[in-house]
Chain A
Amino acid sequence: MSGTSFQGKNSIPHPTSEQLLIKGGRVVNDDQSFFADVYIEEGLIKQVGENLVVPGGVKVIEANGGMVIPGGIDVNTCLMKPFLGTQPVDDFFQGTKAALSGGTTMIIDHVTPQPGESLLEAFERWQEAADKKACCDYSLHVDIPQWNETVKDELELLVQEKGINSFQVYMAYKDVYQMTDSQLYEALSFLKQLGAVALVHAENGDLIAQEQSKILGMGITGPEGHPLSRPEELEAEAVFRAITLGNRVNCPVYISKVMSKSAADTITQARRKGSIVFGEPITAGLATDGSHYWSKNWAKAAAYVTSPPLSPDPTTPDHLHTLLACGDLQVVGSAHCAYSTSQKAIGKDDFTLIPEGTNGVEERMGFVWDKAVAMGKMDENQFVAVTSTNAAKIFNLYPRKGRIAVGSDADIVIWDPDSIKTITAKLQQSAAEYNIFEGLECRGGPVLVLSQGRVVYEEGKLQAQQGTGRFIPRKPFPDYAYQRIRFRNQQGVTRGSYDGPVYDVAPTPKYITPAPSAKTSPTSHQPPPIRNLHQSNFSLSGAQIDDNVPRRSGHRIVAPPGGRSNITSLG
């Protein structure tokens, strides 16, 4: 793949629209770094190499030996996710502006339809809003709020015609989005057939609901109730279950928002055993911890509310960075979903009503650099891999995004590894009043950001244009996730049919009609049935569950005729 980067030395491009030459930079891809100039035309990288032949009058950007890296891809944002009818304060405009100023040139946003709503309609609403407002390229994940037959048709349509190849399923949010294990199994099987990546929000919703009512019952209503009701075991358990399901179905599973050490370790272990599972830590989980939930300042504590919650264990960020560096976790997202303090205050008397979400789209790349590369855990190539290339590979955007190579989109960042910036809400692009990283110092940041070949950020000045972002369709069956899946596919023993005696089965009295999975149907609605003393042998017409058992009339065991019963003999 890297071999394609040095070519086109002598092609003479036609000067048409914007042309740019980045001179004297060190191009950093996920596999190697090298000194080269990059020539950009019409939003595409046309040439990479030294001594390029370029038309006259081309704008030249001097990189002076700085790092030239592929623009970041933020795989997890929620810029339009409604909560009780309110929208996040950072919409596609605010959110993508913040992304660009942090060096991220593409986002993949979550379409979150409400249960019962059409996925397709929701998708179109999102696309419309983003087309009008987004300042950088974007793509969309679609969340599946509930599983049923109609959803299947819509999924197929979304994959085949709309360019969506990733769908999120929920194991939490009981009675709203949560799916049972059977539904998850079906959903994953179906997504596998479609060649899509299954994103999983992994938390055990049943237990969370129980814990929430317990904690509210104890009189704890503040934001500290949020982490108390969502202990990390519940996250780790759900991750384990999701991986088990993925293994059984043989479908790649992508865990969005890995927030705790134990959940990350579960993923690590599963990868050791060969499971195809990806893990995505987020900015908040990589840069701060959950001790703030106990802050005396309600507004501050509430700002940290996200699900799964930030782990109160202060060693978590370090651990997640280590796993990220060694490849056990692959992608860094931001889960950016900013609500204002007054929106958060909807839950001022009940933590379960606090809208969930933190900021992080702007700070994402900076913190990975600061906490991983500057600390020596990771090298610059791995930095590019986790902030951009891996995401592009998993979601099938590669090599259009996530690489500096001829033919790729000209989403390029010149990165200054030594700039130091103190994060504060006053200087951020996001519209939220609160920044959960307030006061933290961060080394490393973009000097210049190119999106689609245009300079959108230079020396602290943002020149983003609303509505310039394009929707990037993604094809199904990304190689990175699906190549192994294809090779992993079982059979029975061929034996003579059993011809020994068969015990007579009395028609089994059924006390329950197979209820739709006992898993989520609350039992309070099932009165304990009374034993039916009038159970009769009357059989209904049509196919019965025990049709395959041959009916025998009176005798219990029939000795098989002749001596042909050697099949049942011992031995």
Chain B
Amino acid sequence: MSDRRMSQEEDCASLLSKLGSDSPRPRMKYGGMFCNVEGAFENKTLNFESFSPQSQRRGNTRNRTEVTGGPGPGPGPGPGPGPGPGGPSGQTMVFPSSFNKKQGDRLIIKGGKIVNDDQSFYADVYIEDGIIKQIGENLVVPAGVRTVDAYGQLVIPGGVDSNTSLQAPQRGLSPADDFYQGTRAALAGGTTTIIDHVLPEPGTSLLVAFEQWRDAADQRACCDYSLHVDITRWHEGLYEELESLVKDKGVNSFLFFMSYKDKYQSSDSQLYEAFSVLRDLGALAQVHAENGDIIDEEQKKLLFLGITGPEGHVLSHPEEVETEAVYRAITIAKQANCPLYVTKVMSKPAADVIAKARKKGMVVYGEPITASLATDGSHYWSKDWAQAAAYVMSPPINPDPSTPQYLTSLLACGDLQVTGSAQASFSTAQKAVGKDDFTQIPEGTNGIEERLSVVWDRAVSTGKMDENEFVAVTSTNAAKLFNIYPRKGRIAVGSDADIVIWNPKETKTVSAKTHNLTVEVNILEGMEFRGVASVVVSGGRVVLEDGKLNVTEGSGRFIPRKAFSDTVYKRIRARSKMAEAHGVPRGNYDGPVHDVISMTKSVPPTPTTRGPTCPKTITGPRNLHQSGFTLAGAQIDDHIPRRSAQKIVAPPGGRSNITSLS
């Protein structure tokens, strides 16, 4: 990979000589995760119209050309041999800035290699009003446009971080890094869109919590954001709120907890019901997959054994418990025919379960996070309490040191699809709430800033992944799953101008002293990562340049997301049609039926509460006084015909062939 890039730069001249003479060599990739999704290619293929000046689109977007006195001689008709090897800069047509009526930032990114998830090519990008207006060589742009130089670097869509918790309180503590600090750090690392988790208190209104989050984010966020809503307690009454969130508020993903017993945990029945509802609404079900029942018991056991430090956290959340819950979540989703997204895949067996389920054709997605891709859980045993506590999150970072490599491999081969950060940072003083009891330590690690660098360093520079896959797992796949594609996650005409100029050669050492968060401990402290965002454009504005952040609090917009994302729901729809089961048409059974004496005993399927104390079902002796008196109204055993005295009645005549042995 890097070799090729090197050689490209060496014979730069010959490369440049071809510029404009040909349409950029499309690098078609097959076998990438989404490449063979039918229909997905329509959105994905480059808008080649933008390369030819007399195309429709050019006419539309640049309908002010008559003011300027017609296009210059630069771009010839069609993709013919245009300008020579003088470099693209010389070919850009500059218009008089007489029509500079709009206030929007205008920007041209020159000389970079545009990397989308399906192909890479050399082209310039022209941005106006926060939208990508033109892509190609020899662009016709107005004068006074700011030029950003991207020679020798990659121009990639800004990262989409699908999992952050910048507002969700734990044990009454708000994260140390809120929407402002968090999105600032995100931008510094090349992430231009975050999807944050709304965590309502169990039993409170989802809509109210959602509005709270929106208010906070609208005031504070520096980059675009969207919101997942967590369902902390499922009940039927939530349906209307969900419907309104999906249809009016632009939320299409909901998280369920299989852990946090007696707090957020949902039972299997609840998950099944909820998944069925989400499927009908066209939303994506996310799960926090850990078996809360077992964890609860393990915590009690460990505390009883006298283990109170952070190592108790990882001991009480063993990987089996994660694996089991992932397996169960997939089973439930399969039964409910609902797409499933497993947040925070932290261990090898859990990732394997997802990979296996995908091989069986289930619609399930897995999200490893910065922490699980970059470090391991050996730090839980650190003698430094503050250090050990900084790593506390659920599911915990796996103590197996080969986990990061393994997850990276699965990410590269498409078995895992999206990288998140699960950013939720708590200061050491906040973490110290649990200094005598590891169950009280607020859970969460940093990772929002380092995410892209970690993936580049661990996957691309080691040769596991190419640059297109890098874009796929850091932004495009997330955008597709959560239905903000192609607005986000792609460099194409009409997409939002969230662009990162990525320098694959630079390295950066992570340290809590230099990072953009407020927490005192960075779990990746001292690690060196190749690949750094050198320029970040968010919403058409340059927010990071020369290592300097220039963000505006509150400039982030809420990005609403529509239901029924194509990537996720096309298959689900087809399966719903296929999945109808059919009964066997048979003649009525007319043989003898055993008399059921009393139905007061174990009534199989009726939903009765099964609390821990269940003394009411006392199996009495056979009721000898059973009377024929029937209560009015429908009875549970109405469908069983009452027979009076004899137990078995031989059917009259020889019509008993249905019951004969054969």
Interface residue A468 (Cβ < 8 Å from any Cβ of B):
no
Contact between chains at A85 and B311 (CB < 8 Å): no
Contact between chains at A180 and B332 (CB < 8 Å): no
Interface residue B269 (Cβ < 8 Å from any Cβ of A):
yes
What's the Cα separation between A515 and B232 when bound, in Å?
14
Interface residue A466 (Cβ < 8 Å from any Cβ of B):
no
Among A182, A228, A500, contact of B293 (Cβ-Cβ < 8 Å): A182
Decide yes or no: A500 and B323 within 8 Å by CB, A299-B658, A342-B648 being known contacts: no
| Chain B residues, Cβ within 8 Å of A520 | 267, 269, 610
Contact between chains at B331 and A234 (CB < 8 Å): yes
Interface residue B181 (Cβ < 8 Å from any Cβ of A):
no
| Chain A residues, Cβ within 8 Å of B618 | 116-117
Contact between chains at B262 and A511 (CB < 8 Å): no
A-contact bits for B315-345, CB 8 A (1 contact / 0 none): 1001011011001100110110000000000
| Chain B residues, Cβ within 8 Å of A549 | 433, 436, 440
| Chain B residues, Cβ within 8 Å of A493 | 309, 311, 381-383, 388
What's the Cα separation between A245 and B327 when bound, in Å?
14
Among A84, A206, A247, A425, contact of B267 (Cβ-Cβ < 8 Å): A206
Contact between chains at B612 and A222 (CB < 8 Å): no
Contact between chains at A511 and B201 (CB < 8 Å): yes
What's the Cα separation between A305 and B329 when bound, in Å?
27
| Chain A residues, Cβ within 8 Å of B320 | 244, 247-248
| Chain B residues, Cβ within 8 Å of A508 | 171-172
Q: From residue A523, how far is it (CB to closest CB) to chain B in Å?
A: 4
B-contact bits for A552-568, CB 8 A (1 contact / 0 none): 00001100000000011
What's the Cα separation between A420 and B330 when bound, in Å?
46
What's the Cα separation between A231 and B589 when bound, in Å?
25
What's the Cα separation between A113 and B619 when bound, in Å?
9
Q: From residue A64, how far is it (CB to closest CB) to chain B in Å?
A: 37
What's the Cα separation between A114 and B596 when bound, in Å?
17
What's the Cα separation between A546 and B622 when bound, in Å?
51
Contact between chains at A500 and B331 (CB < 8 Å): no
What's the Cα separation between A433 and B661 when bound, in Å?
7
Interface residue A174 (Cβ < 8 Å from any Cβ of B):
yes
Contact between chains at A517 and B236 (CB < 8 Å): no
Main secondary structure on B side of the interface with A: loop
What's the Cα separation between A492 and B172 when bound, in Å?
28
Contact between chains at A557 and B591 (CB < 8 Å): no
| Chain A residues, Cβ within 8 Å of B172 | 505-509
Give the number of A-B contacts (CB < 8 Å).
Answer: 342
| Chain A residues, Cβ within 8 Å of B272 | 206-207, 210
Among A175, A182, A240, contact of B608 (Cβ-Cβ < 8 Å): A175
| Chain B residues, Cβ within 8 Å of A433 | 659, 661
Q: From residue B642, how far is it (CB to closest CB) to chain A in Å?
A: 13
Interface residues in B582-607 by Cβ distance below 8 A to A read 582-584, 586-589, 591-594, 596-599, 601-607
Contact between chains at A244 and B324 (CB < 8 Å): yes
| Chain A residues, Cβ within 8 Å of B602 | 84, 114-115, 176
Among B236, B596, B610, B659, contact of A178 (Cβ-Cβ < 8 Å): B610
Contact between chains at B294 and A248 (CB < 8 Å): yes
Interface residue B62 (Cβ < 8 Å from any Cβ of A):
no
Among B204, B269, B639, contact of A206 (Cβ-Cβ < 8 Å): B269
Contact between chains at B436 and A515 (CB < 8 Å): no
Decide yes or no: A228 and B429 within 8 Å by CB, A86-B594, A346-B593 being known contacts: no
Main secondary structure on A side of the interface with B: loop
Interface residue A213 (Cβ < 8 Å from any Cβ of B):
yes
Interface residue B495 (Cβ < 8 Å from any Cβ of A):
no
Max count, chain B CB within 10 A of own CB: residue among A113, A521, A525, A527: A521
Interface residue A485 (Cβ < 8 Å from any Cβ of B):
no
Query: In chain B, what residue has the closest Cβ to A545?
Result: B440
Among B293, B335, B428, B512, contact of A234 (Cβ-Cβ < 8 Å): B335
Q: From residue A261, how far is it (CB to closest CB) to chain B in Å?
A: 13
| Chain A residues, Cβ within 8 Å of B615 | 116
Q: From residue B640, how far is it (CB to closest CB) to chain A in Å?
A: 7
Decide yes or no: A175 and B520 within 8 Å by CB, A86-B596, A340-B594, A503-B429 being known contacts: no
What's the Cα separation between A526 and B234 when bound, in Å?
10
Among A181, A225, A521, contact of B583 (Cβ-Cβ < 8 Å): A225
Contact between chains at A181 and B598 (CB < 8 Å): no
A-contact bits for B382-409, CB 8 A (1 contact / 0 none): 1111111000000000000000000000
| Chain B residues, Cβ within 8 Å of A120 | none
Query: In chain A, what residue has the closest Cβ to B602?
Result: A176
Max count, chain A CB within 10 A of own CB: residue among B235, B584, B611: B584
What's the Cα separation between A294 and B584 when bound, in Å?
6
Decide yes or no: A531 and B619 within 8 Å by CB, A85-B598, A114-B602, A518-B265 being known contacts: no
Decide yes or no: A296 and B586 within 8 Å by CB, A244-B321, A522-B607, A549-B440 being known contacts: yes
Contact between chains at B609 and A181 (CB < 8 Å): no
The stretch from A27-35, A96-104, A347-355, A444-452 touching chain B is A347-355
Contact between chains at B659 and A526 (CB < 8 Å): no
| Chain B residues, Cβ within 8 Å of A147 | 612
What's the Cα separation between A530 and B203 when bound, in Å?
7
What's the Cα separation between A523 and B202 when bound, in Å?
13
Interface residue A186 (Cβ < 8 Å from any Cβ of B):
yes
B-contact bits for A254-282, CB 8 A (1 contact / 0 none): 00000000000000000000000000000
| Chain B residues, Cβ within 8 Å of A502 | 429, 432-433, 435
Contact between chains at B609 and A519 (CB < 8 Å): no
Contact between chains at B640 and A525 (CB < 8 Å): no
Contact between chains at A524 and B437 (CB < 8 Å): no
Contact between chains at B619 and A117 (CB < 8 Å): yes
| Chain B residues, Cβ within 8 Å of A228 | 581
| Chain B residues, Cβ within 8 Å of A178 | 610
Interface residue B644 (Cβ < 8 Å from any Cβ of A):
no
What's the Cα separation between A33 and B297 when bound, in Å?
48
Contact between chains at B327 and A114 (CB < 8 Å): no
Interface residue B635 (Cβ < 8 Å from any Cβ of A):
no
| Chain A residues, Cβ within 8 Å of B387 | 570-571
| Chain B residues, Cβ within 8 Å of A207 | 268-269, 272, 331-332, 335
| Chain A residues, Cβ within 8 Å of B611 | 516, 521
B-contact bits for A482-507, CB 8 A (1 contact / 0 none): 00000000111101011011110111
Interface residue B430 (Cβ < 8 Å from any Cβ of A):
yes
Contact between chains at B265 and A352 (CB < 8 Å): no
Query: In chain A, what residue has the closest Cβ to B648?
Result: A342
What's the Cα separation between A517 and B609 when bound, in Å?
12
Interface residue A363 (Cβ < 8 Å from any Cβ of B):
no
| Chain A residues, Cβ within 8 Å of B327 | 237, 240-241
Interface residue A345 (Cβ < 8 Å from any Cβ of B):
yes
A-contact bits for B234-259, CB 8 A (1 contact / 0 none): 11111000000000000000000000
Contact between chains at A524 and B583 (CB < 8 Å): no
Interface residues in A187-242 by Cβ distance below 8 A to B read 189, 204, 206-207, 209-213, 215, 218-222, 224-225, 228, 231, 233-234, 236-237, 240-241
Q: From residue B297, how far is it (CB to closest CB) to chain A in Å?
A: 4
Interface residue B614 (Cβ < 8 Å from any Cβ of A):
yes
Contact between chains at A517 and B262 (CB < 8 Å): yes
Query: In chain A, what residue has the closest Cβ to B332?
Result: A207
Query: In chain B, what residue has the closest Cβ to A507?
Result: B172
Interface residue B630 (Cβ < 8 Å from any Cβ of A):
no
Contact between chains at A146 and B614 (CB < 8 Å): yes
Some 30 contacts from A to B, beta carbons below 8 A apart, are A174-B605, A174-B610, A176-B610, A182-B261, A185-B297, A207-B268, A219-B583, A220-B582, A236-B331, A248-B318, A295-B584, A296-B584, A298-B586, A301-B584, A341-B591, A342-B592, A345-B593, A346-B594, A348-B593, A350-B639, A352-B604, A433-B659, A498-B386, A502-B435, A503-B429, A509-B201, A521-B611, A523-B233, A523-B236, A567-B385
Q: Which B residues have a C-beta under 8 Å from some C-beta of A?
A: 171-173, 201-205, 233-238, 261-263, 265-270, 272-273, 291, 293-294, 296-298, 305-309, 311-312, 315, 318, 320-321, 323-324, 327-328, 331-332, 334-335, 381-388, 427-433, 435-437, 440, 512, 520-521, 525, 580-584, 586-589, 591-594, 596-599, 601-619, 622, 639-640, 647-648, 658-662
- 7 closest A-B pairs by beta carbon, nearest first, are A181-B293, A206-B268, A492-B307, A114-B619, A220-B583, A514-B262, A244-B324
